[in-house]
A and B are shown apart, each in its own frame.
Chain A
Amino acid sequence: MGKRVAVVGYGQTYQRSSRKDVNGVELINEAVRVALADAELTIKDIDAIVIGNMDHFEGINYVDMWSAEGSGAVMKPVMKVTTGGTTGTSVAMCAYYHVASGMFDKVLAIGWEKNSESDTTGAIITAFHPVWERPNLGGAVAGLAIEASKYMHDYGATEKDGARVAVRERLHALNNPYAHLHQEWMKGIPPDQLVDLIVGSEQNQLLAYPLRMSDMCPRTDGAAAVIFAVEGKAEKIAPIPAWVQATANRHNFVYAGDVDMARNTTIAEASQAVFRKAGIKEPLKQIDVCELYLPYSYAGLKWIEDIGFCGYGEGPRLLWDGVTDMDGEMPINPSGGVMSSNAIGATALIRVGEGALQVMGRAGARQVNRKVNLAFCSGFGGCYWADIMLLGRKKPA
């Protein structure tokens, strides 16, 4: 058993489609400064740094050293972690382990991406096997579309069900000044009408059946930084530290053909592991808010079933009943989620930062309408890599 650890500070840049006014190092620096100010610390207080992005998105292979001027890593221990879509949560978990080990008191976790600097599909393909899969597969959208098709076939879900998830994410994003997509036209229109408008729109291009533009996450430039501190220091830094209750990760395939498309078994197993560690028996009742890495709409139906918030095939009902809306029993993604901002290396770390804000009660207009005792944060990436970090108001046992 390691030391108890809490999130004590969080900073992010405004998430935008293109930030030509800054290079990557300067973008990182913006997030780091905000996080330090948030925790009322200086860079001198930081004992070590963990940083990550996706190498091929900027063509930078040495981000730990390349970014030192901006990250604050000059003459500090620094470690690079890059695990694809889950980079942000892996960075967070690595920083957590650094502190829990007792070797560092305060560790800064940084995730960032400048998606504007390359072609996302061209860069993502480098994650696949050069001989067996790169010649016959391109990018992320088609793979997710295959998962969505199977879910529709198995459970009778419709395009409207998928659109209902998209509508929730984009409506929530309107409360988040940092979000990339602000679809102001949606303001004041009821969700069911918005679903009809989106599904029926000719402008909503079909990408790969059943996925349309509105079902996918954007490509974003942005950075995020989260500060982890050890018990004894954390309470002095933050009035309400967001304590790490449990973490887990699972990943179960190398080749795309081996994915269990019927169910998301990795997020299911990682969730079960976290619930066991934290003594959670009824997730829907016991957890107060979620920040989930949902890269596309149908994940918001199926994966919440795999986490255990409802039975198989019941995801759409939860959505239509408003259970996952801001004032529902289980608000999901008050920030607007990945479908509203996706600076990939930062994306999963933003889930952790936003979850921490909810626990701290400092999320502003996107704060949920209750005291948050437990916030469930997840990351997702290639290999159906699932990371979970459960944050809470009480120190873990």
Chain B
Amino acid sequence: MSDLDDFKATYFDECSELLLELEEQFAAIEEGDRSSDRLNAVFRAIHSIKGGGGAFGFQGLVGFAHAYETLLDHVRDGRVELSEHVTALCIRANDIVADFVAAAKDGSELEAGYGAEEKHQFDALTSGDPDMAGEPMEEFDIDFVPVMVTIAGAEDDDVVAEEPLSLALLDDTFEAPPLVSEAGHWTIRFAPHAELYARANDPLLLLRELGTLGEIEVRAVLDEIPALNDFEPFGVYCSWEISLNSETATEASIAEVFEFVEGNCDLEISRGTAPVAEAALDAEIEAMPSFAELMADEVEPEAASEDAPAGELLSFAALAESLKPALKAAPPVMPPPLRQAAPAEEFEGENDRRSGVEDRRNGVQSIRVDLDKIDRVVNMVGELVITQSMLTQQMDETLRARYQELVRGLEVLAQTTRGLQDSVMSIRAQPVKTVFSRMPRLVRELATKTGKKIRLETIGENTEIDKTIIEQLSDPLTHMIRNSADHGIESPEKRMAAGKAEGGVIRLSAEQAGGNILIAVEDDGGGINRERVLQVARDRGVVGPEQALSDEQIDQLIFAPGFSTASEVSDISGRGVGMDVVLSNIKKIGGSVHVKSWTGKGTRMTLRLPLTLAVLDVMLVKVAGSPYVIPLSSIVETIQCARANFSRMPTGGQVLQVRGEYVQVVDLASRFAMTTEVARDNRFVVLCEAEGGVKVAVIVDDIIGQQQVVIKSLEENFQSIEGIAGGTILGDGNVALIVDVQGLKSATAAHKSAA
């Protein structure tokens, strides 16, 4: 059922937004902001999650959210105090709701009784309150019927309307109901109050609905209608007595018809037929048709009454007579009389309000667009950029001199294309806030677990970055912050002893620097313990015993695979994986990580990220006459070196010594089984860094330069090739393959071990 799937997709989409909002609201609440706006927003978020969940029959989710909502309702109106304990409980509850939503989304089962403990606590906090706590949950057992009924509304409506409602008061052949009292016969007395009309309820509709229960006969009770002079235009004078003949109707089903007007009318439901007060029917029946017409057309008696002689007491019949001409003259719909007076005074206010509304409208205008659509636009703009640069390259000097207008046109095109590219990229950009907002919570948890006092500062959270990159940022940032809290910030005692403030600070900042986004995680802790890092590195063989390293090199060691300095595996960051995961994640999205540490003062880790993933900064090289591109992010340096510098290993591989370090050599030409004509003694070497800081020296024939390219997938267009990350189309229309340094390295290693 695709419609239902669509709704579910909308729902889960909405849930993730609401969950994010919960995080934000609780971050502020934790800071001490307990304004009712926040509490209401929290309540609404949970309420919406519950509401949608109920529609799809997510029982566990709804049950939990309901208990949580009840608590929030109590908190909102002050029946339960929002103590630290309750706040912590709520934050935990948010997680549980998120888990329920996640489980509902991928159809998995949570362990039985998940969240029961918290739910129990909610109930305990809200118990003794009959209001919501006692509210039965049964109603949520109603399964949403996933079948979307196709009710032809108009038809349905017509059927009801055409059904000859035996509104006996319109009928000359009015028959008194039989005086028999038997099962299936009901008498209903219905006298509306003024409120019933004020709430736009309509007796005719109620009678119509009553008619669906069985055969009805309706008699209007008109005794109350006063003389014309006493007639209040909005007074309620009419009531009805209905006789219902139905095999199936019960008192409950009859009462249900009047459910919306309960308390706004006098309602009497009794079994059997009441003896009809024949006396009341005499003269009035004569007058009824015109009165009924009057009611049906909703003509205001007041408007009509102007024609009637004033100051004279009139019988109802006379009133009816006097109304007849007025009825004919009156337009079918008269404006409600109250309308004239009130708006005149309100007019100015009305105007103000309207302009206010317009301001608001101008302020926030946004539309929702499917990300796929934007991706397509981004891709097409990429193509356009390439075509444009191809055109520009085709213009040689002779053409330039001959077609000046064309040249000017191309220049304008180049400018517009760049503008277009920027605008399109900004569509997909999102503020880093979406990731940053999850961090205060993490820091809080870490502080509790480590027993340290830690404050998180965030700077530049409105810095925008491509959505696809943002999605990849959460894990690395989490890891970095864990690392700072666990290894960076010292215990309060240690900090006091070092003359620092008792509480540590972790600062999370984002800024744009040229074509990059810099995200830094900084702490004012003890800095990297270089002695220990080096010791561990030597123990684990990451660094040779004699190798001398600069401070900076030692700092970078924390990104080495499997490296962890925690003396004992802690609950927090020591999970067997170290900061190398951060590095590889960031590399995957074309970024780099840099760490700087000051002993006793703190550590700063900086992520340098590209603004977008669609366009890649590359170095264009040539191998055996074909162009290849190498991502700039994986290049350390380019060098020229003589053949003599390459040493052949016994295994057949080659190594190159670069600044005292032996680096594995990959000759692109032979790697891709091509023969190169270049026999120069000096070879160009691009020194690349693969995952985990392992270097690879790639031999190429020529280095052409740097440029930006749009990545095309090889898997989608051809097939996956080891050592090649994808393809791209260059300005001159040639296809260049993108070298995958990581793939090159592992492929060579595999090749070696096979040999």
Chains A and B form a bound pair? no
